[in-house]
């Protein structure tokens, strides 16, 4: 598709301005095609198109669909609801949704147009080492974790899945990923079965909130040692607070500042009961280099900041 020709006329109608340029943003290997849209007056917007092929080859996106109903079409449909919910918090700016066009018949035609948030992108998973930034992040996550739900799924579901079904559903998905993407690697099978026996539903899912399942530093933009905006809303779902906290721990660089911010809204829970389960889930999403016992052990043990 010629993005410029296809979208310039459409967007000029939505924005009531002529489009001056559309050019690619971000990295080519991501799960979306992302473009910056500039108008003749100098205003900037962001166009995002999910890559339909990702559900065929990505363990992560297959599980987002199976567990939460988020795929290349529903990701676009649910975006206005996600943005509206996140805009209720005053801590970190959220882009405004100008228009979404979900297209289940041809997902390659699905897209979202949102406002551009000024700030510097940050590619590594680890957050910049700033106390103020980590406290701000703790405030943001802590605030969202006070907005609770009963069950799991996404914001467009008329009824959420029962919380009691989550553990079995997630273990089933992890078994499938080991089978289909890891060639039934015995060490990973053994680790999952050991954790399944040692872990309880209550340990991995005490309460549900709107969470970013793949949260890390590269989902945000930055300015003056602060987070200037959330720019990736793709994997926001209603799910366990423990999931988001487990992912965050691996990306923090000033963890005690994050704790201070988070605990302005509620006590940070013990991590030991759920850490290994969610870290194994995260590891399984990256099968390209195959299993290495040393690298796996390091992944599971590194960056443990909270008891």
Q: Each residue of 260-300: pLDDT tens digit?
A: 999 999 999 999 999 999 999 999 999 999 999 999 999 99
pLDDT at 57: 86
**Taking all residues of the chain, what is their mean pLDDT, rounded to a whole number?**
94
Predicted confidence (pLDDT) at residue 27 exceeds the cutoff of 70: no
> What b-and-e string marks burial along 28-62, b requiring 16 or more CB atoms within 10 Å of the CB?
eeebbbbbebbbeeeeebbbbbbbbebbeebbbbb
pLDDT value, residue 8: 82
Average pLDDT over residues 1-26: 80
Tens digit of each residue's pLDDT (9 = 90 or more) over 219-264? 999 999 999 999 999 999 999 999 999 999 999 999 999 999 999 9
Spatial separation of the C-alpha atoms in residues 43 and 19, rounded to whole Å: 9
What confidence category does residue 1 fall into, taking pLDDT thresholds of 50, 70 and 90? very low
Distance (Å, rounded) from C-alpha 25 to C-alpha 16? 23
pLDDT at 4: 62
Distance CA 64, CA 96 (A): 24
User: Given this model, what pLDDT does residue 54 score?
Assistant: 74
Q: Which helix (H) or strand (E) holds 101?
A: strand 97-101
Q: Backbone phi, then psi, for 169, in 5-degree steps?
A: -65, -40
What percent of the chain has pLDDT above 70?
Answer: 96
Do the beta carbons of residue 75 and residue 33 sit within 8 Å? no
pTM over cut 0.75: yes
- On the question of pLDDT at 2 being above 90, the answer is no
C-alpha–C-alpha distance, residues 36 and 24, integer Å: 6
Cα angle at 111 between 51 and 94, to 5 degrees?
105
Predicted pLDDT of residue 227: 98
Looking at residue 104, its pLDDT comes to: 65
- Which residues, in sequence order, are CB contacts of 149 under 8 Å at separation 6+? 160, 208, 209, 210, 238
Q: Which pLDDT value is given to residue 14?
A: 86
Check: CB of residue 216 under 8 Å from CB of residue 223.
Answer: no
Query: What pLDDT, on a 0 to 100 scale, did the predictor assign at position 70?
Result: 95
Contacts of 13 (CB under 8 A, 6+ apart): none
- Residue 144 vs residue 107, higher pLDDT: 144
**Spatial contact of 110 and 85, defined as CB atoms under 8 Å apart:** no
Tens digits of residue pLDDT in 148-193? 999 999 999 999 999 999 999 999 999 999 999 999 999 999 999 9
pLDDT at 9 over 80: no
């Amino acid at each position: 598709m010629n993005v410029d020709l296809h979208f310039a006329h459409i967007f000029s109608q939505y924005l009531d301005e002529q489009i001056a340029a559309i050019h690619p943003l971000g990295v080519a290997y991501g799960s979306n095609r992302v473009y910056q849209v500039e108008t003749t007056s100098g205003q900037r917007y962001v166009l995002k198109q999910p890559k339909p092929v990702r559900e065929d080859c990505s363990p992560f996106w297959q599980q987002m669909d199976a567990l939460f109903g988020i795929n290349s079409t529903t990701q676009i449909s649910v975006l206005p609801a996600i943005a509206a919910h996140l805009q209720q918090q005053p801590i970190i700016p959220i882009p405004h949704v100008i228009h979404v066009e979900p297209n289940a018949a041809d997902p390659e035609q699905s897209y979202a147009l949102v406002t551009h948030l000024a700030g510097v992108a940050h590619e590594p998973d680890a957050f910049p080492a700033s106390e103020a930034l980590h406290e701000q992040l703790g405030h943001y996550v802590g605030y969202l974790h006070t907005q609770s739900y009963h069950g799991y799924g996404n914001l467009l579901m008329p009824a959420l899945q029962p919380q009691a079904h989550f553990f079995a559903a997630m273990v089933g998905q992890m078994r499938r990923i080991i089978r289909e993407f890891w060639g039934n690697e015995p060490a990973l099978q053994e680790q999952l079965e050991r954790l399944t026996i040692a872990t309880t539903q209550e340990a991995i899912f005490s309460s549900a909130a709107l969470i970013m399942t793949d949260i890390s530093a590269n989902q945000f933009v930055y300015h003056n040692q602060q987070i200037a905006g959330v720019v990736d809303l793709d994997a926001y779902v209603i799910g366990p607070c423990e999931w988001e906290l487990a992912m965050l721990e691996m990306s923090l660089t000033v963890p005690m500042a994050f704790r201070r911010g988070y605990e302005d809204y509620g006590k940070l829970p013990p991590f030991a009961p759920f850490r290994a389960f969610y870290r194994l889930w995260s590891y399984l999403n990256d099968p390209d280099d195959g299993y290495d016992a040393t690298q796996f052990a390091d992944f599971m043990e590194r960056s443990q900041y909270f008891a």
